[in-house]
Chains A and B, each alone.
Chain A
Amino acid sequence: MERVVDPLAKRPSVLRAQSETIGFVVMVVALVVAPFVTYPLFVMQAMCFALFACAFNLLIGYVGLLSFGHALYFGWASYLSAYSAKAWGFPPELAILTGTATAAICGLVAGSLAIRRQGIYFAMITLALAQMMYFFALQAKFTGGEDGIQAVPRGHLFGIFDLKNEMTMYAVVLVIFLAGFLFIYRIIHSPFGEVLKAIRENETRAISLGYKTDRYKLVAFVLSATLAGVAGATKAIVLQLASLTDVNWPMSGEVVLMTLVGGLGTIFGPVVGAFVILVMQFKLAPIGEWVLVIQGAIFVACVLLFRRGVIGEIAHKLRIRL
């Protein structure tokens, strides 16, 4: 994948060194203000997808592995979270944990199979596994098939906070999103993250330096799947439903689109990309016929012209890191 030349080498400046912090503050402020100026349910959904895209970006942007079946973890976490809340009566925090655990296990199994190969073959294995799990979801009784799992109760967080209240739910989702985001940030800027980037640049060299690259890749894969699971599990509680859309391959394609539009390998790119794509979907809903065409056109434009994505381009122009 293309790489932005390290800006640190050229222009040291206060602005650049703290660009990520400033970006983070801006994001937090925007998200805190958002529910008072726009429709909270929409922003909550966008945050879930933003976390999903960030998790996906961990794999593609920092390890260089394109997973074409990430909907598997998102969707199955969503199903287990919904089912445990509805049928087993789990409180929301346990439901989300159940969903996340499911995604982690799926990630472990899928990852150990997929990372044996690279590049396009890796992508194809992830796609094959995702398709198999899609058909399983289609047939399994508990997923509700085409109808999905509906009327999932929001419940009371820790037995105290009533999540039916939109603002309470919003606060919870915001906390989850920021926690996930910061976790990813921490991973990227840790020694572990440096090794991942080294693997992305030149795996052979990393092996020759003594790193067991397969193990690193597997851990990164499982982390990515788990965080995608957090996003899916939370989404099930927010929207109170889990459906086949969440495990199907167009969903995998959508998260690729979100990350591409926002900027591969940037921290804030996936967040921006998720919001952009979701806003587009809703604004275009009245003229629904053209959604597919416009999505396709954006894909094409991004690949040809804006390979760095929105945030990537901004970061490049300003020579900062975002």
Chain B
Amino acid sequence: MFEIFGIPSTALFGQLLIGLINGSFYALLSLGLAVIFGMLNIINFSHGAQYMMGAFAAYLILQYSGLGYWPALIIAPILVGITGILVERFFLQWLYKLDHLYGLLLTFGLALIFEGVARNYFGSAGLPYTVPDSLRGGLNLGFMFLPNYRAWVVAASLVVCFGTWFVIERTRLGAYLRAATENPTLVRAFGINVPRMITLTYGFGVALAAFAGVMAAPIYNVSPQMGAELIIVVFAVVVIGGMGSILGAIVTGFGLGVIEGLTKVFFPEASNTVIFVIMAIVLLVRPAGLFGRRA
């Protein structure tokens, strides 16, 4: 046991591990945002609200059908993904020809609506949702107590993140998608239904947010404002990583989780601000982000 800057090493490793766990959350959430912006050029400000809807869907599924965490992990993202598809069809498709910023404003408005409706029906204190029995308890690692649920979060996050990255960057479907965003007319000429791909991609991005929401429900307070609190941080992550880059979002998500964790140890009061400081610096030095493609 040795000390680094006055903090015992065991505590430091514990915090690093926790930072990694948080990072996996950020990565999962920013993944959906990066997919939507990278593929569709839409700044989805309602991502936080859709994350919240995922958590609420998990709660409602439990209330009305008795199905617990594991089925909810699949059903909730599908349900919320469908609402995403409806949003795209009814609202977003009219904005593609306009400036990015209109998409931002529209999704911002939608986020307010979702949050307001949730608050009206469920109040703002929050709803109870517990860790599923199969994941309760934890492992005593010596330097800290690692809850099983947190370990599961890291594992699931890694799988989903790299799975998505693989599909988009390494498969034919992903190639079609990337081509469609660069030159939709040409791709349509090849007989591929571009509007449908776009709709489904948006739905997928939203489903990713909802998936993160279900993962969050057992450990974070399930409240209407849970998304609003996170959305700014997630945007910072995506901007730092590079707004078009899937890999950037994943790596930055994990990385920032670790940095935030370290800040919490050495300088806890600043742990909120550190992400924005980094974002400002990155934007000034490398505006496309660490992994981004366009300036």
Bound Cα distance A292, B121 (Å): 13
Determine the residue in chain A with the shortest Cβ distance to B239: A124
Q: Is A89 an interface residue (CB 8 A)?
A: no
| A120-B243, A121-B239, A304-B106 known, 8 other contacts, Cβ within 8 Å | A1-B101, A113-B284, A119-B101, A128-B236, A289-B120, A293-B113, A296-B111, A304-B94
Q: Is the CB of B280 within 8 A of A132?
A: yes
**Nearest-neighbor residue (CB-CB) of A2 within chain B:** B98
Question: What is the minimal beta-carbon distance from A65 to any residue of chain B, in angstroms?
Answer: 10
Q: Which 5 A-B pairs have the closest CB atoms?
A: A299-B109, A296-B112, A292-B116, A293-B116, A296-B113
Q: Is the CB of A129 within 8 A of B283?
A: no
**B175 contacts A by Cβ under 8 Å:** no
Q: List the interface of chain B (C-beta within 8 A of A).
A: 43, 91, 94-95, 98-102, 104-106, 108-117, 119-120, 232, 235-236, 239, 243, 269, 272-273, 276-277, 279-280, 283-284, 287
Q: Which residue among B114, B235, B283 has the maximum number of chain A CB atoms within 10 Å of its CB?
A: B283
| A221-261 Cβ-contact flags toward B at 8 Å (1 or 0) | 00000000000000000000000000001000100100010
Minimum CB–CB distance for B90 against chain A, Å: 9
Asked if B111 contacts A300 (CB within 8 A), the reply is no
Q: Once the chains bind, are B276 and A299 in contact (CB under 8 Å)?
A: no
The answer to whether residues A299 and B279 also contact, given A116-B284, A304-B91 and a CB cut-off of 8 A, is: no
- Per the bound structure, the CA–CA distance linking A57 and B63 in Å amounts to 47
Known: A256-B105, A292-B116, A303-B95. A128 touches B280 (CB 8 A): yes
Q: Whole-angstrom distance from the CB of A46 to the nearest CB of chain B?
A: 21
What B residues does A161 contact at CB under 8 A? none
- Asked if B276 and A292 sit within 8 Å, CB to CB, the answer is no
Query: B111, B112, B235: which has the most chain A beta carbons within 10 Å?
Result: B112
CA of A139 to CA of B236, assembled, Å: 22
* B112 close to A132 (CB less than 8 A): no
Contact A124 B283 (CB under 8 A): yes
Residues of B within 8 A of A136 (CB): 273
Q: Residue A120 contacts which of B101, B116, B120, B272 (CB distance < 8 angstroms)?
A: B101
Residue among B116, B119, B272 with most chain A CB within 10 A: B116
Q: Verify if A281 is at the interface (C-beta below 8 Å from B).
A: no
